[in-house]
Amino acid sequence: MPGKLKAKIVAGRHLPVMDRASDLTDAFVEVKFGNTTFKTDVCPKSLNPQWNSEWFKFEVDDEDLQDEPLQITVLDHDTYSANDAIGKVYIDIDPLLCSEAASVISGWFPIYDTIHGIRGEINVLVKVELFNDLNRFRQSSCGVKFFCTTSIPRCYHVATVHGFVEELVVNEDPEYQWIDRIRTPRASNEARQRLISLMSGELQRKIGLKVLEMGGNAVVGYLQCFDLEGESGLVVRAIGTACTLDKLSSGSVSNTNTNTHVHPTAAAAPSHLAHGCRSTHNSPVHSACNSQRLTQNFSVSVPTLIFTGMRESGEVSDRRAETVFGEEVPLFSVPPTPFRALPSSSPPPFTPSKPCSRQSSSSDTDLSLTPKTEKPLQVRHRPGIYFCPSSPTLPTDTLSFAGSDAVVCGHGSGHRITNPPLSPISYNQSDSALLRKSVSFNEDLLLAASGMGSGGSAGKEAGPLKMLLRQQTQTALEQREFPFFTLTSFPAGFLVHAGGVVSARSVKLLDRIHNPDEPETRDAWWEEIRQEIKSHAKALGCHAVVGYSESTSICEEVCILSASGTAAILNPRYMREGCLDFGNTDHRFEDPSPRSCGFCHIPYDELNMPFPAQLTLCQHCRQQKVPDVLFTTIDLPPEAAVTGKGCFVQARLCRLKKKAQGEVNATAISNLLPFMEYELHTQLMNKLKLHSMNALFGLHIQISVGENMLLGLASATGVYLTALPAPGGIQIAGKAPIDLSNEHHIFTIQKRINDTIAKNKELYQINPPELTEEVIGSPIPEPRQRSRLFRSHSESSDELSELDLSHGKKDAFVLELDDTDALEDIHSLLTDAPPPNGFFSCNTEIMPGIYKWTSAVQMFTSVRVFRLSNVNLTNQGLNKIFTDLCEDLLKSFYFKLRSLIPCCLCHLNFTVAVPEEELIQVAVTAVAMSYDKEQTHEKPVDKLIIRGNSETEEQLQFPMELCADSSSVNMQTSKFSGVPESSSISHRDGYSAILPNLIHFCFVFFVLLFFFFVSMSLLLLCMYGGVRAFVRSCVCVRVCSLAASIDYGSFADRCTTWLELLRLKAHTIRRGSVKTISSMDRCSPLPEGRSRSLRSNCSFGGSTVTVVKMTPLSFLPGTRIIKYLGIINMFFIRETTSLREEGGVSGFLHSFIAEVFAMVRAHVAALGGNAVVSYSMKECVLMENPNKNQAQCLINVSGDAVICVLDTDQEVTPTPTTVTQTCGIGAEGTA
Amino acid sequence: MSVELDVFVGNTTIMDEEVYQLWLDGYTVNDAVKVRMEGGVLEECEASADVLLSDTMDQYRTFQMCERLLHSPAKLANQLLFQIPPHRQVVLIERYYTFDDAFVREVLGKKLSKGTKKDLDDVSAKTNVTLKSCRRQFDNFKRVFKVVEELKGPLVENIRQHFLLSDKLARDYAAIVFFANNRFETGKRKLQYLTFQDFAFCAGQLINNWTVGAVDNMVEDMDVDLDKEFLQELKELKILITDKDLLDQHKSLVCTALRGKTKAFNEMEANFKVRIKSHGHHILHVLAHLLAHGHFIEPCRSDRWTTADMRLYLTHYTNSAHILDTFKHQVVWDRYMGVVKSCIFKMYHD
């Protein structure tokens, strides 16, 4: 589709003085697109030139339109010497290529120079005329909309979610390419900026093509990243979720509204509450963590060798693991298969353990994948299609399948029930096929599905609904190579169950990219990781991964690739192409579990748990099993039942590492990784308990590599999910109780911990009603009588501490004080200060328990760099420094933003880096939003959220019958009662406790691991027990004892005396008529008053500058987004040779960040927008050389430009019937 | 171990008014932190000294970056670098251009030159205003002076438009510019008791009545330069003193009018000539000599005239001149006495 690009240069202002003699400037402008350049006349002697140029016309291919930015250079005319450049403006044309976005770009842009920063402004007009596309084989993808937002953009309706799209583009980095040539820094910086701009344009175009191929028209959750690999080049990669979006019409919105509010499940819930039964299950360790993977595509047959195969891409493999796991060595001695990643780093202490092998073999035999997912797999032996068609298949008896799975399921070895009818697999058969899981699954499932007839009609068959549901979904999903979704919040009903976090990391050695046009190596690396993620999700009984993201950390030639997401089961209706004609059959597969707790229910079979977890009946619906703790990378579903407020939980960790080069370095890093993951998870878990919460959302773990250390930072938002059992306390146990003072010490620590827990409960208002009748009617077998413990926790903390001390630690969540490390850990646990009064914080979009946001919003970016001058640092010392650094940052935010109190810091996004040997850099972007002090409990459902729901629900055309009115409640209950029989069928073990609901839910905290590594799970277990114990000699014994004593699950059970209040609350709210809520809200004087001030800001007459609000969230409180104008994706480099004069690095970076904000705002304003949502700073690389008085910084930011209007603006409508109606009106207004 | 870099940038620029004032007052970061700690911010917000230091540094940096814009306030409204809500912009500008009365008293009437700037450390020591703050204020004066110097139109209005200042502040600056331009020395010992506001009032009177601008409002410097023609005409007024007949006539008229109305009548009568003499004296430096040197006010003061006496006297003195048949310069007289009267009223206080 060729097009005509037109640009007009209107005027400039505030130009710098370029001619010292006259104190004036003779400015002219060059406008360049592709290879065509136009020039304006020189406007002599003016700092505010008026060019008012003609329209410069470029006739170009749409491919170029997508790739190239419009490049505007402002110069100072010089008769005798070369013209001096004043600065440049790059304008991304992309928003103009989409009919629904902006139609013209017009406004003042800052003129940016990589050395001097912003130097005046220029007023530009840009238009595009596109001709119709006649070429079927086009290379362009104009019209595909891109959104950074990781939810369905408000004001759109999603017809289909197509799935994962990814692409990467590789090039040589001009900085390095030119290093030997004579060049100015400015030239290379500008070349880099331009190149990256080009590359991201190309990337976007290619992704767009993929989306078009899939039949979609938009990419949601578009995440683009740069890897500055140094000499080996520059990689720009992106992932996203392809969707078909329709613009919402106002009419359709309004009718959905009621659904959300009068939610049937919510209404039904109270009945369960009344005679809830308390589960007393003792849950075994259930977070498996640790992942690590040392690279190599080629597997290795001989233990101990570090490199195998040809060193194509410089990947390293660490063979140590094999040596260690003696028994498994044979497994690996198979012909190299490209996608095999070998476990690299099992730490020596664990390795030769007997239990290890026992474990692995047991999981081997019970091969649990099939029963778990209940998929009727027809397993056959297939060559790996995706990976290596050429590779020989593995021997049938390989452990590899089991191994990969065992990561998840190894622990739960107690009961393995295979369900023959459901899973007609014989293990012998399966092994080899499963080796390449993704492949075989895909095809098998297809077969299976077709064999059963179309999923929809199969409902009446004996198989439980659950199975059918799964099949459907799976067929839809498994057709895709990667059933991944970068979304973190979903239309209601989309997410059925969340399994837990899956993640994978891989250490790679960078090597020169020889052929940038064929970036196969990098592709292969990511593919490997994605496969791994996929397999982990499967191991959790999930067919999809949501909240998926990828990242890298590069230090010299070593690169850690990371990917993580949340294993989930999704509602098949949205997966299928053309889901609209699904018709009535749909309802049959409606998951009867209430939406407020349904996503917590375990997705895997409780008899074949992928890891030892402690399951209890859902505290909310009493129908399904839930895990004791749930970790996810997604946002808290708006409909989730939550008790109290959420809080920001962060685990920080530093690990020293010897300086090394190449493979040695990579090996060292990969050896450290699992320990770091383990430690981080332990910290998270401890802190979660300390906050008396039971779930983490928005979990993001970053591991950053430096020359001599690794930094790990895990951030998440802790909440108390009403559906999950109450977490217990933390008990301290001394290893050497002989020492009296020690005992006293332990006692004081214990007391402090208990006090903290009590304080936190109060602070976050976690006060579920105590459950007095413990186990009445509990269908869960072997309820352990631990009522005494329950109570103890609800009573005074003094009593508690006594109890805890006297109590056997087997049942408790015990922290052992066996050495100084442990002591440090506990101290660090307690150093986290709670936010000051009036502040809350979270890293998710939604903060449970806070409603009525005002429109006061302050987005900020803060960067700190800390120099470690102390040479002899220990890990503990480092940890302390790092922790303090993060805590201090938070404290200073609270202080700075105190004028917004009461206020919540949302979407706290921490990024750590080790820019130099002794530097730690922490960058934070977040938004502070103030809320109304009067948080009426009557309406704990945020208006905004309600709206979000109702919109999205409508978008998905949720069946009305289920949620329209109270009658649906009855319907549902009857369903419940009706189904139990089928449940008993499906679960042959005869656990009467298992309710009919379709999908078991649960969560798991699950971090990826190695495919082939059967014993990894064991390893994890060990690690949970205590890395500290390594020193001890007897590993086996250690493993066992630790497994017993360190038991998160049991801990949780121990002190669950609390019931959830929130559910009740939620009901009241939801029952309350929507109308009243909405009208009340809109009439409430305070928000209105505040928003008025916002309006006045926006309409500030005296200034020509539009106020542009920015937020990392997908919405702005108090406003509605009425139009998305396009994606903002900008990359800037700034360099200075006068660092001191600019106020040192702080001054330099301060002004640079301010400049970046200014440029983002200017571009948004030029598109006609007044806000940026989903803003994020992806990259902030600062390099300094104070001796030379120089510094350089690169920043990459992105977001969605939008137009939003105040909610109050719709008050024109005299009849405020429903919230959504007003929405609709607004949308209409803009349409 | 040290924090190498520490920045915080808000989309909306965050500015604490208290810190801004400390910055304007020329406090160093450390001193500002001390002041803030004493102010009790820490207790309010559960913060530590480090936090306070970091916040103060950050704000100082922000202000420094903003300072360039504050030099031409009109830019602040349409620059893109900082997103500052309009009401905040107003506060920023107003505060930036606000000056210390003590400081301005020292500088008023001096030439705004480099030499004066060099002596600011003395001024700083004398007034207890930090040198940094003195320099900022001095530069503000100079900047305003330079910009306004070459502009046509009313002085106050020009200042208000170019520097977006409040009316009050714009008037004060007009006074400063006026004094600096005419170099009326205000540092004389006898004038020490006068505040800047007294002078500002007088300057306002002069600007409104005696400058070129009072006659023609489209001339450069119209409000800064006194109306030369008027000054020439003033010489004609000397006749009131030099002409013995007129003087006597005038005196008797005034005395008749005042007799019995004021306690200070006798002293006044005795000193009439002396007082009046000063009018004609060196007419070009009216203020400096008539008002400033205190030839008029000083004697009255020593005679303990009340303000009411003064008013009464001046009113009659002015009015009586109209009755004199031989006195032909009524218009000039009014223009002259109107200003003198109001200035004296203003300055005649304790």
Digit-coded pLDDT (tens) for A597-635:
778 888 777 666 666 667 878 877 777 888 888 899 999
Cβ of A1104 within 8 Å of Cβ of B77? The answer is: yes
Is A319 a residue whose pLDDT tops 90? Answer: no
Q: What distances in angstroms separate CA A37 from CA A29, A258, A1069, B142, one per listed residue?
A: 10, 57, 62, 45
Please tell me the distance from the alpha carbon of residue B112 to that of residue A336, in angstroms, as a whole number.
85
Residue B80, both tokens = 């893109």
Q: Does B198 touch chain A (CB under 8 A)?
A: no
* Among A234-238, A450-454, A1086-1090, B309-313, the range of highest mean pLDDT: A234-238
Please tell me the distance from the alpha carbon of residue A480 to that of residue A484, in angstroms, as a whole number.
9
Please tell me the distance from the alpha carbon of residue A488 to that of residue A466, in angstroms, as a whole number.
24
Residues pairing with A630 in the sheet: A695
Can you tell me the mean pLDDT for A1167-1187?
A: 90
Residue A1085, both tokens = 């004087």
Is A561 a residue whose pLDDT tops 50? Answer: yes
3-state SS class at A1091: helix
Task: Give me the total of CB pairs closer than 8 Å, taking one residue from chain A and one from chain B.
Answer: 150
Q: Which residues of B touch A867 (CB under 8 A)?
A: 1-4
Is A1072 a residue whose pLDDT tops 90? Answer: no
Q: Which carries the bigger pLDDT value, residue A791 or residue B71?
A: B71
Cβ of B81 within 8 Å of Cβ of A110? The answer is: yes
Residue A1130, both tokens = 């900008």
Cβ of B11 within 8 Å of Cβ of A1100? The answer is: no
Please tell me the distance from the alpha carbon of residue A436 to that of residue A440, in angstroms, as a whole number.
6
CB B89 within 8 A of CB B17: no
Please tell me the distance from the alpha carbon of residue A481 to that of residue A565, in angstroms, as a whole number.
16
Q: Which carries the bigger pLDDT value, residue A447 or residue A43?
A: A43
Q: Give A802's pLDDT tier (boundaries 50, 70, 90).
A: very low
- Which helix (H) or strand (E) element contains residue B274? helix B265-280
Single out the residue of A548, A753, A758, A766 nearest to residue A647, CA to CA. A766
Can you tell me the mean pLDDT for B140-162?
A: 87
Is A363 a residue whose pLDDT tops 50? Answer: no
Can you tell me the mean pLDDT for A280-297?
A: 29
CA A885, chain centre distance (Å): 23
Please tell me the distance from the alpha carbon of residue A657 to that of residue A455, in angstroms, as a whole number.
53
Kindly give the pairing relationship between strand A145-146 and strand A218-228.
Answer: parallel
Q: Which carries the bigger pLDDT value, residue A184 or residue A536?
A: A536
What would the pLDDT profile of A530-539 be if each residue is shown by its tens digit? 999 988 888 8
Per-residue confidence (pLDDT) for residue A1064, from 0 to 100 = 34
Q: Nearest-CA residue of chain A relative to B10? A: A860
Cβ of A1161 within 8 Å of Cβ of B83? The answer is: yes
The torsion angle over the Cα atoms of residues A169, A172, A174 and A178, rounded to 10 degrees, is -170
Please tell me the distance from the alpha carbon of residue A623 to that of residue A445, in angstroms, as a whole number.
29
pTM, entire model: 0.73
Please tell me the distance from the alpha carbon of residue A883 to that of residue A885, in angstroms, as a whole number.
5
Q: Does A873 touch chain B (CB under 8 A)?
A: no
Residues pairing with A14 in the sheet: none
Is A884 a residue whose pLDDT tops 90? Answer: no
The torsion angle over the Cα atoms of residues A1217, A1218, A1221 and A1222, rounded to 10 degrees, is 90
Can you tell me the mean pLDDT for A884-907?
A: 89
Single out the residue of A749, A503, A735 nearest to residue A632, CA to CA. A503
Please tell me the distance from the alpha carbon of residue A771 to that of residue A776, in angstroms, as a whole number.
11
Please tell me the distance from the alpha carbon of residue A413 to that of residue A218, in angstroms, as a whole number.
44
Give the E-state strand segments of A456-543 in sequence order: 495-509
Q: Does A1143 touch chain B (CB under 8 A)?
A: yes
The single residue listed with the structure tokens 């084989």 is: A137
Per-residue confidence (pLDDT) for residue A1175, from 0 to 100 = 94
Q: Which residues of A touch B8 (CB under 8 A)?
A: 860-862, 892-893, 896
Residue at A66: amino acid letter? Q
Please tell me the distance from the alpha carbon of residue A481 to that of residue A438, in angstroms, as a whole number.
7
Cβ of B75 within 8 Å of Cβ of A14? The answer is: yes
Cβ of B1 within 8 Å of Cβ of A881? The answer is: yes
DSSP A770: B
Per-residue confidence (pLDDT) for residue B191, from 0 to 100 = 72
Please tell me the distance from the alpha carbon of residue B239 to that of residue B249, in angstroms, as a whole number.
12
CB A1048 within 8 A of CB A289: no
Can you tell me the mean pLDDT for A355-381?
A: 32
- The 3-class secondary structure across A445-467, one letter per residue, is HHHHHHHCCCHHHHHHCCCCHHH
Q: Does A112 touch chain B (CB under 8 A)?
A: no
Per-residue confidence (pLDDT) for residue A946, from 0 to 100 = 38
Q: Which residues of B touch A1103 (CB under 8 A)?
A: 77-78, 86, 89
Kindly give the pairing relationship between strand A145-146 and strand A839-841.
Answer: unpaired
Sheet strand arrangement including A36-39: A36-39, A27-33, A69-76, A84-92, A105-113, A117-130, A3-13, A56-60
CA A929, chain centre distance (Å): 21
- Phi/psi for A302 (5° steps) reads -110, 130
Question: ipTM of this predicted complex?
Answer: 0.85
Q: DSSP 3-state helix, strand, coil percentages of chain B (rounded to 5)?
A: 70, 5, 25
DSSP A936: -
Q: Give A751's pLDDT tier (boundaries 50, 70, 90).
A: confident
DSSP per-residue letters across A1102-1142: S-SPPP-EE-SSSS-TTEEEEEEEEEEEEEEEEEES-TTTT
DSSP per-residue letters across B227-273: -HHHHHHHHHTTHHHHSHHHHHHHHHHHHHHHTTT-TTHHHHHHHHH
Q: Which residues of A touch B10 (CB under 8 A)?
A: 858-860
Q: Does A896 touch chain B (CB under 8 A)?
A: yes
- Maximal C-alpha separation, chain B: 90
Q: Which A residues, 548 through 567, put their C-beta within 8 Å of a C-beta on chain B?
A: none
Per-residue confidence (pLDDT) for residue A1029, from 0 to 100 = 33
The single residue listed with the structure tokens 């002697």 is: A45
Tell me chain B's radius of gyration from C-alpha atoms: 25
Per-residue confidence (pLDDT) for residue B271, from 0 to 100 = 61
Please tell me the distance from the alpha carbon of residue A351 to that of residue A359, in angstroms, as a whole number.
12
- Phi/psi for A339 (5° steps) reads -95, 10
Using CB atoms, pick whichever of B4, B13, B82 lies closest to residue A919.
Answer: B4
The single residue listed with the structure tokens 């800390």 is: A866
Cβ of B1 within 8 Å of Cβ of A867? The answer is: yes
What would the pLDDT profile of B262-271 be if each residue is shown by its tens digit? 666 666 666 6
Those residues with Cβ within 8 angstroms of residue A91's Cβ, 6 or more apart along the chain or in another chain: A69, A70, A72, A105, A109, A124, A126, A1163, A1166
Q: Which residues of A touch B45 (CB under 8 A)?
A: 836, 894-895, 898
Q: Which residues of B touch A898 (CB under 8 A)?
A: 44-45
Q: Which residues of B touch A1105 (CB under 8 A)?
A: 77-80, 83
CB A126 within 8 A of CB A116: no
Region of residue A58 (phi > 0: left; psi between -120 and 50: alpha; otherwise: beta): beta
Per-residue confidence (pLDDT) for residue A229, from 0 to 100 = 84
**Cis geometry, peptide bond prior to residue A347 (ω within 30 degrees of 0):** no
Q: Which residues of B touch A1109 (CB under 8 A)?
A: 11
Task: Give the lowest-confidence range in A895-899, A990-994, A1140-1144.
Answer: A990-994
Residues pairing with A31 in the sheet: A38, A72
Q: Nearest-CA residue of chain A relative to B15? A: A896
Residue to test with chain A: of B2, B8, B60, most A Cβ within 10 A: B8
Is A389 a residue whose pLDDT tops 70? Answer: no
Q: Which residues of B touch A1149 (CB under 8 A)?
A: 5, 7
CB A1120 within 8 A of CB A1226: yes
Can you tell me the mean pLDDT for B208-231?
A: 68
Residues pairing with A563 in the sheet: A504, A550
Is A385 a residue whose pLDDT tops 50? Answer: no
Residue to test with chain A: of B1, B3, B6, B11, most A Cβ within 10 A: B11
Per-residue confidence (pLDDT) for residue A203, from 0 to 100 = 92
Can you tell me the mean pLDDT for A96-124?
A: 88
Cβ of B57 within 8 Å of Cβ of A1146? The answer is: yes
Is A419 a residue whose pLDDT tops 50? Answer: no
B122 to chain A, closest Cα gap in Å: 28
Q: Which residues of A touch B79 (CB under 8 A)?
A: 14, 1105
Per-residue confidence (pLDDT) for residue A246, from 0 to 100 = 85
Per-residue confidence (pLDDT) for residue B319, from 0 to 100 = 76
Q: Nearest-CA residue of chain B relative to A120? A: B79
Q: Give B95's pLDDT tier (boundaries 50, 70, 90).
A: very high
